[in-house]
Amino acid sequence: MDPEKALRDVKKAVEEHHRWMSRCLPMIASENVTSPAVRDMLPTDFAHRYAEGAPHERLYEGCEYIDEIEITCVELAKELFDAEHANVQPTSGVVANLAALTALTEPGDKVAALRISDGGHISHREISAPGVRGLEVLTLPFDAEEMEIDVDEALKLIETEEPEVVILGASLFLFPHPVAEISDAVKTYDGKVIYDGAHVLGLIAGGTFQDPLREGADVLTGSTHKTLPGPQGGIILCGKELADAVDEAVFPGLVSNHHLHHVAGLAVALAEFMIHGEEYAKATVENARKLGEALYEEGLEVLCPHKGFTRSHQVAVDVRKHGGGARVSERLEKANIICNKNLLPWDDESESDDPSGIRLGTQELTRLGMGPSEMEFVAELIADVVLERRSLEAVREDVAELREEFQEVEYGLGSGVGAHEWPRIADW
């Protein structure tokens, strides 16, 4: 390969990606856009450095300032989530889950978790973290009509099987999970609850969803870049009694060097969230509920109309009648509405290439400053595509026009770079 050409191609692809994103409706529920202040942390020299171990107990020299930053980051996380202990070193949500399972289980133990079709994440199932740890995975019963864990059946399973850990939290996550009931049940035999808050971490911190640690979860894990709009990474929050086990599972268990520039970015994101998070989380959920209602009024099969569609940042739509999740999400992408196809409870997991549904998230549109009236328009544009009422080109033009007004990041600090702009720091 010609390196000069490769350089030109990569640069062009990066430029085009940013141009595309700035004209799209980004609605993938697991993503977000960081503020200019957070982005300012990412090209710092911390991106080049190692800081293995805990602050002030590092294996390498040169850590004076990252020690200070990591301690601040941990203190901010503890305060924001009202947790006794925080570890900000996992490099992703999956790593955080694997570390939590490593801390709380021995190979051969049992965990209970949701099926992927019911909203569970791969890292809750044998295919990922529990399999890596050598755990047996039991399936938590789910009520597809209510899109909630079936509490009575789950309690029966827990009583009979006594899994060492129950994993709550989900990827398709419309309504809070029954943390208190499940935590009371596992406490009768010293079991533990891990609540995977990857998706809803910002909603938890903003006080709009549920408060798993107060409701009885032993460990709260998460990604730091979904409804909590920090740089990509993972986090673990827990009580003091589990602190050593969690820290050891992370380092030296699963992470040697963590990503120091992301820790700096996370510290900024957490501080910003203390200032703006409550308002942002509330607006995100209001927008999701409005989007659900507006899509339903447009005639789409939005899940759970009898429950106000959602209490999170997500809306799920069954699009089987319109060609299925794969076709619909691809058509939406052509109209510059970016979302993902999603398994729904009635899907077989082997159908993940073409599941019944699509999942839509409002966390990034909210961050761009959109509110309920924009959600109505967004629903109309989505319905135009799904119901094939207008051409994809016509919808794409409307999307670009709508985006013209929404180019900055709200609910965050800093200025000087647009939400989807490539902030160049070098000429090459």
Ligand X SMILES: Cc1ncc(COP(=O)(O)O)c(C=O)c1O
Bridge partners of 87? Answer: 236
Q: Is 265 in the site for ligand X (CB under 6 A)?
A: no
316 Rama class: left (phi>0) / alpha (psi -120 to 50) / beta = beta
Checking DSSP bridges between strand 148-149 and strand 142-143, what pairing results, if any?
antiparallel
Q: Is 94 in the site for ligand X (CB under 6 A)?
A: yes
Closest to ligand X by CB, 100 vs 285, is 100
The residue from 223, 287, 312, 336 that contacts ligand X (CB under 6 A) is: 223
Q: Identify residues 141-180 at the interface with ligand X (CB under 6 A).
A: 169-171
Find the part of the chain contacting ligand X (CB under 6 A) among 5-13, 87-95, 205-213, 299-307: 87-95
Dist CA 174 CA 182 (whole Å): 18
Q: Is 129 in the site for ligand X (CB under 6 A)?
A: no
Find the part of the chain contacting ligand X (CB under 6 A) among 191-199, 211-219, 328-336, 420-428: 191-199
Q: Identify residues 4-23 at the interface with ligand X (CB under 6 A).
A: none
C-alpha triplet 189, 194, 195: angle, nearest 5°: 135
Find the part of the chain contacting ligand X (CB under 6 A) among 193-201, 272-280, 303-311, 338-346: 193-201
Residues with Cβ within 8 Å of 237's Cβ and at least 6 positions away in sequence, in order, are 77, 78, 81, 83, 85, 86, 213, 219, 220, 221, 222
Provide, rounded to whole angstroms, the least separation between the CB of residue 105 and ligand X. 17
Question: E strands of 224-380, at which residues?
Answer: 234-238, 301-302, 314-318, 337-338, 340-342, 357-361
**In the numeric block, which tokens belong to residue 259?**
């990503």
The residue from 35, 89, 117, 123 that contacts ligand X (CB under 6 A) is: 123
Listed in sequence order, the DSSP H helices in 93-174 are 93-104, 129-132, 151-161
Residues in contact with ligand X, counted by CB under 6 A, come to a total of: 14
Dist CA 383 CA 389 (whole Å): 8
Bridge partners of 361? Answer: 314
Q: Is 92 in the site for ligand X (CB under 6 A)?
A: yes
Provide, rounded to whole angstroms, the least separation between the CB of residue 118 and ligand X. 12
Residue nearest to ligand X (CB): 93
Q: Is 269 in the site for ligand X (CB under 6 A)?
A: no
The residue from 30, 34, 183, 363 that contacts ligand X (CB under 6 A) is: 30
The residue from 36, 53, 93, 141 that contacts ligand X (CB under 6 A) is: 93
The residue from 115, 177, 192, 199 that contacts ligand X (CB under 6 A) is: 199
Closest CA to 117 of 64, 170, 157: 170
Residues near ligand X (CB under 6 A) are 30, 92-94, 121, 123, 169-171, 196, 198-199, 223, 234
